[in-house]
A and B are shown apart, each in its own frame.
Chain A
Amino acid sequence: NAGVTQTPKFRVLKTGQSMTLLCAQDMNHEYMYWYRQDPGMGLRLIHYSVGEGTTAKGEVPDGYNVSRLKKQNFLLGLESAAPSQTSVYFCASSQTSYEQYFGPGTRLTVT
């Protein structure tokens, strides 16, 4: 099992550009999550999903959209990137609300 994978690993965007981050899991988990982590801080939940076709807002959802069209994939979109969105993004999945499995992260820089 690959576990949780994230694509891409690194990305540099200019202000105003758009992009989509892909998270894939092969553990048949129902729950999936997107977090961001800024230097010296803990993780903050952006959006999450409790099943295929569902999404919900987390702690810091503004400026992001998500979709869960397939159970194994959770996409995070930035429609118009801003420098404040420079961060490391982590995806996670879990079968219940308990143990979450995290991906390796995507480092995004917006200039």
Chain B
Amino acid sequence: DAKTTQPNSMESNEEEPVHLPCNHSTISGTDYIHWYRQLPSQGPEYVIHGLTSNVNNRMASLAIAEDRKSSTLILHRATLRDAAVYYCILLKTSYDKVIFGPGTSLSVIP
């Protein structure tokens, strides 16, 4: 199974952009890159996903490297409510076992 590597923790100032990196050097052609986040004492929630092209939605943007071996989740203006653990995972189109690593703990400083 392809795995992902993320920094354990990151800090950001409120209202500044945040770039959360993820390395997935063993990604296969059928793996989609997904991001979830988990706020304190809550279940994870879906953020965004993509295959090859960059993606935008109301929550964030996903920038995918041309070789697909890395990606970056971009929060355009961090708020205190964005403080959470962010997980980068790989999923295939047909169901595959989902492996959540430890993720990146994002702290937002007022």
Contacts and interface: CB of A to CB of B under 8 A. Distances in A.
Interface of A: 4, 31, 33, 35, 40-45, 48, 50, 58-59, 90, 92, 96-105
Interface of B: 32, 34, 36, 41-46, 49, 85, 87, 91-103
Given A90-B44, A104-B43, A97 B91 contact: yes
A97 B103 CA distance: 20
A105 B103 CA distance: 18
15 contacts: A4-B43, A42-B102, A44-B100, A45-B99, A48-B95, A59-B99, A90-B44, A96-B93, A97-B91, A98-B49, A99-B49, A100-B36, A100-B44, A103-B43, A105-B43
Contacts of B43: 4, 90, 92, 102-105
B87 A42 contact: yes
Contacts of A90: 43-44
A104 B94 contact: no
Pairs A-B, 8 closest by C-beta atoms? A102-B43, A42-B100, A43-B100, A97-B95, A99-B46, A42-B102, A90-B43, A42-B101
B93 A43 contact: no
Nearest to B32: A98
